[in-house]
Structure 1
Amino acid sequence: MGNNGRMENGYPAVVAASVTVARPRLMNAVAFWSLLFLSTAAGNVLAHGMRAWRDAQPFAALGTSIEEFSSALSTLALLVVLHAATRRWPLHADTWRRRIGFYLLGGIAWWLLHVSMMVLLRKLAFALVGQHYTYGDWPAQWFYEFFKDVQTYSLLVIAVHAAAWFGRRRQGEAHLLAEPDDGPPIEPVERPQHFLVRKLGKEFLVATADVEYAQAAGNYVNLRVRGHDYPLRITMAALEQRLDPAMFLRTHRSWLIHRGQLRSIEPLDGGEALLHMVDGARVPCSRRQLPTLRQALAGA
C-alpha cells in the first residue's frame, strides 16, 4: 500500500499503533514463556533418554522429541489466548464471583484444544518421517490428559494473574484522589490536578499535566507518564470527563492524548490518522475524531 495506508507487520498502520506501547512487554512475555516451555520439553526428552540408558532400554529419540515439543508448542499457542483473556476479563476481588464460571469452562476448552492441537502436530510430524502416530483409546487416554491439562491451565491462570499483579505493584498503579475524611479537599476531586500512585508499598502524586496519553485496557486506563504506564481503574469515558478538555483530547474510543505532547499528524487512507507523540509513540486517531482534533488544535 501507499505511504498513507501502509501495512506494518501485517496489520494496518492504525491498528499497529494501538500496540506500540505494549509491544516490548509482550515480546518479553513471549520470550519468557517460549524459553520456559521449550526448555522444559528438551529437559523431558533428556530425562526419558537418561531413564532408558539407566534401564538398558531402547530410546526412540525422534518420537519422544515430537511428543514433548508438540505438547509444548500447543501450550504456547493456547497461552497467547489465555493471556489475552486474562487481560480482558481479569479476576479481581469484585469480579471473580461472576467470572469464575468462565474460567472453569476455559479449563475444559483448554483440555480439548490442547489435546486436539497436540495430536494433530504429532500426526503431521510422524507422517513427515514416514511413520504413523496413534494417540490412544477414548476415553482413557483423553481423560488421562484431562487431569494434566487442568493442572497446567490452573497454574498458568495463577501465574499470569500473579505476574500482572506484580507488574502493577512494581510499576505503580494510579488512583483518583479521594475526598479527605476531615476538612476540605486539597484540590477539586472532579477535576484532579494529581493522581495518587501506589508503587511497591509507597504512595506519591503524579501531576495530571505530566500524563502524555492514555490507553484503555479492559477495566483499566493506562496513564503514560515519562516512559511508564500507570493503570487507573476507570473507563475512558469517565476519565475524559475528569480531565481538562483544554489540555486533553480524545482521539479514539481507546485513546486520549495531552495536546502538548503531540508532535505531528500523519493522515492515512480511509480518513484515519497516526499521531506522532513527543516520546516517539504512535497513537491512532479515528476518522470521526480527526476533524474534532484538528478544530481543537486550530482553536489553540
Structure 2
Amino acid sequence: MINKAWFQAHQSSISLSLLGLYFLVNGFINSTTVLMEAMRTPPLPFAQWEPFAWEYTSAVGSFCVVIALAKILNHFPWQWERFTFSIALYSAVGLCFAATHIIFMIVSREIIYALVGGNYQFATSAEQWFFELIYEMRKDLWSFIFFVVMIWCYRYVVAQWLGNASNIGLESAKLDQRNTQNAPDEKAFKHELLLIKKNGHEFLINKQDINWLASSGNYVNLHIDDKVYPMRTTLTSFLDENAYLPFARVHRSFAVNLNDVESVKVGDSGDGVITLKNGHTVKMSRRYKLAIDK
C-alpha cells in the first residue's frame, strides 16, 4: 500500500508522471491507428513518421496546457454561488486552452517538417483554414471539459484518501441575524475552526488543539495527539494566516503550539529537540530558536 506521507511529499511528481504517461500512451495509440488505417489501402499517402509527429505534437501541447489549466483551477475554483461569473470565466479559459493548443501544435509541426526538409501545411485556403480551426476548436473544447472534470475527480479522490482540512466560514446571512455585540465573537470563533473531510465524513477541529505542524510537499500535516489532518497549503502561509494563535516555527519543516511545549533541549550546535506534553518530540533548528525563547 502506498505510504500517504510519501505520496504527499511527491504528489506533484506523481501527478505529472501519470499525466505524461497518459499522453505518451494516447499519442502512441493514435499514431499507430492512423498508420494502420492508411495501410489498408496502400501506398501510404504520407511517410511513416508523420502520424507520430502529428499526434505527439498534439500530445505535448495538451500536456503543457493541462498543467497550466490545473494551476488556473487552483486560483479560480468553480463557484456555484457565482454561477454566471464561473461560466464566463471558464468559457474564456476554455477558448484560451484551445487556441494555445492549436498554435503550439501548428508551430511545432512546422519546425519538425523544416528540420527534415519538408513542408507542413495546416491548410491551403481561407475556407480550409476556417474548417480546420473549427474542427480543432471543437475537439479542444471537449478536451477542456474532460480535463476540468478529471482534475476535479482526481483531487477529490486524493483529498478523501489523505483527508482534507480547510478553513470554515459562516454564512453572512446568519451573521446578519446576530446582534452587533455577538457578531465579532462569532467571527473570531469561525477563524479557529477547520472543516475536515475524510472518507466521506465531515467534522470540525479547533486550531487551538493542534499540537504541532509538519510541512510535506504541497501539504501541511496538522497533528492532534495521534491523528494527522493534511491541509493543502504551505507552512509559511498557514502560520501567517494564524499569527494570532500560539504557533511558532521551530524548523524549516516544523512548527509547534507553544501551549503544548513541555521542555526544550538545546545542543552545543544550537539545534535542539522540543518535547511536547503528549510525549512527542519535534526537531528544532538554531535558526528558529528565538521563536521558543520568546
Residue in structure 2 matching 1:296, options 275, 291, 294: 291
Task: Give 3-state SS (helix, strand or coil) of 1:225's partner.
Answer: strand
Task: Give 3-state SS (helix, strand or coil) of 2:231's partner.
Answer: strand
Superposed CA RMSD in Å reads 4.2
Residue matched to 1:148: 139
- List runs of 5+ in structure 2 lacking aligned partners: 1-5, 171-187, 267-273, 275-280
Alignment check: 8 A CA contact 1:178 1:189 kept? no
Residue matched to 1:74: 61
Residue in structure 1 matching 2:92, options 105, 117, 121: 105
Correspondence 1:49-60 to 2 at 5 A:
49-58=35-44, 60=47
Residue 116 (structure 2) pairs with residue 133 (structure 1): no
**CA shift for structure 1 position 154:** 1.2
- Cα-to-partner distance string for 1:59-98 (whole Å, 9 max, x where unaligned): 5221111111000001111111111111111114345543
Correspondence 1:2-13 to 2 at 5 A:
none
Residue matched to 2:23: 37
**CA shift for structure 1 position 128:** 1.2
Whole-angstrom CA distance in 1 between matches of 2:12 and 2:63: 14
Structure with max Cα Rg: 2
- Cα-to-partner distance string for 1:247-288 (whole Å, 9 max, x where unaligned): 445999xx9932679999xxxxxxxxxxxx9889x9xxxxxx
TM-score of the superposed pair, with normalisation by structure 2: 0.65
Distance change (3 Å), C-alpha of 1:140 and 1:178: closer
**CA shift for structure 1 position 210:** 3.8
Distance change (3 Å), C-alpha of 1:195 and 1:81: closer
Alignment check: 8 A CA contact 1:45 1:61 kept? no
**CA shift for structure 1 position 169:** 1.9
Whole-angstrom CA distance in 1 between matches of 2:191 and 2:57: 54
Residue matched to 1:182: none
Residue 255 (structure 2) pairs with residue 257 (structure 1): yes
Whole-angstrom CA distance in 2 between matches of 1:176 and 1:72: 37
Whole-angstrom CA distance in 1 between matches of 2:50 and 2:87: 38
Residue matched to 1:212: 213
> Which structure has the highest helix share of the two?
2
Alignment check: 8 A CA contact 1:74 1:117 kept? yes
Whole-angstrom CA distance in 1 between matches of 2:220 and 2:151: 22
Amino acid at match of 1:224: N
Alignment check: 8 A CA contact 2:53 2:109 kept? yes
Whole-angstrom CA distance in 2 between matches of 1:72 and 1:178: 41
| Larger RCO, structures 1/2 (Cα 8 Å, 6+ apart) | 1
Percent identity of paired positions between Structure 1 and Structure 2: 17
Whole-angstrom CA distance in 1 between matches of 2:19 and 2:61: 12
Task: Give 3-state SS (helix, strand or coil) of 2:230's partner.
Answer: strand
**CA shift for structure 1 position 170:** 2.0
Residue matched to 1:267: none
Distance change (3 Å), C-alpha of 1:92 and 1:258: farther
TM-score of the superposed pair, with normalisation by structure 1: 0.64
Residue 175 (structure 2) pairs with residue 202 (structure 1): no
Residue 85 (structure 2) pairs with residue 85 (structure 1): no
